[in-house]
Structure 1
Amino acid sequence: MKCEGTRINGMKIIQPRVFEDARGFFLETFEKKRYQDILGIDIEFVQDNYSRSSYGVLRGLHFQKINPQGKLVRVVRGEVFDVAVDIRPGSSTYGQWEGVVLSEMNKTQLWLPPGLAHGFVVLSDIADFEYKCTDYYNPMAEECLIWNDPTVDIQWPIKKPQLSDKDKLGKLLKNLL
C-alpha cells in the first residue's frame, strides 16, 4: 500500500495494494492497524455511508462544525473528482483545496482529517461513492461551503453541475467563522 501527502495538512492519498489476475481482483479497503500505521493516527470509524449519483451531480462541500468527521473515501463504481478544502481556523493550509480523481479503475482512497469541507462531482454516467466516518452525522451541525467560492477558486472539471437546493445555499469561506 502506498500513501502520499497532499498540500492540505493531514490529508492523504492512499493507493491500496490490489491483487489482480484473469479472474478479477481483491483488495483490502480498510485494515485498522495498517491504516493507523500509515496515517499515523488512531482511527475509530463509527459510520459507513454509500451514495449513488449521476453525471454532473456535485455533492458538497459539506462539513460539521460540531462533531467534525474524518473520512476515508473511495469510489466503487464510476468516477468522481473529489475535493477537500481546509476550513480549520489557524491551519497553515486554511482556505486551500485539493482535488483528486477517484474511480473504480484506480481504486484510490482519500483520508480527510476532521475539519475539512468535502465534496465531489460525478464524471461518469453514474458513480457509487463509499466513505467511513470517525464521528456520527449530526444534521443540526451540518454546513456547506459554496462549491464556486471565488476565494477558494476550485478548478472543477464541470462548469454547470447539478446541485441540491441545500448545496445551492452554501456559504462563502469568509462567512464560515
Structure 2
Amino acid sequence: MSKSQENIVEIKCSAIQSIKFIENSLVITPEQPNSLPPDISNSGDIWTIDLNCGRKGDKSVAEKFTNISGGGAHVFSPNSTKDENPSQLNFYFGILVEFNLEGKKYMMNLYLGQGHQVRNNWWIGGNFVFQGKGSCILCIVSLPDGMIEMIYKIKGGVSGFELNSWLN
C-alpha cells in the first residue's frame, strides 16, 4: 500500500476572503490513502492548502478533473513542461473561494489537482478559468446577470498560484 504524504499548494490573492474544501470532492487514484479534510490556512494574502494523501498518477483522475472544470480550455498549470491538459493526476479536489471586491462578495468553485510529473506540479481549473497558449485568466462574474467584475491573470510555479488583477 502507498504511503500518505503532505501535499501543499498555495494561492496568493489579496481579494480572497475565504477558502473552503468542497465535501466529497476528492477524486484520488484507487487504493491511495487520504486524510480529509485538508488543512486550509492563510497568512495575509497567501492561502495554504495541505492535503495528506498518497501519490499515484492516473489517467482517469486527469480526465475527470478536466471534465468537471469545463473542458481542456478551463484547466491550467503554470509549470507544465509539455501538456496543455493533465495526462495523469495523483488526485484533485474542489474548493469554494470567496472573493471580496470593493465590499461585494463573489463565490466560485475551483478545482486543484496534483500532476504526476517529476515535480508533482499543480493544476487549477473551473468554468471561469480560461487557458490560452501558456497563459491563463480567471474571470470573476456576478450571477445571474453574467457581468464580468474582475479578471485575474494566473501565474505561479510548481506548487502554487498567484492571481494578479488584470482588468476590472
Q: Whose radius of gyration is greater, 1 or 2? A: 1
What TM-score, normalized to structure 2?
Answer: 0.27
Which structure dedicates a bigger proportion of its chain to strand?
2
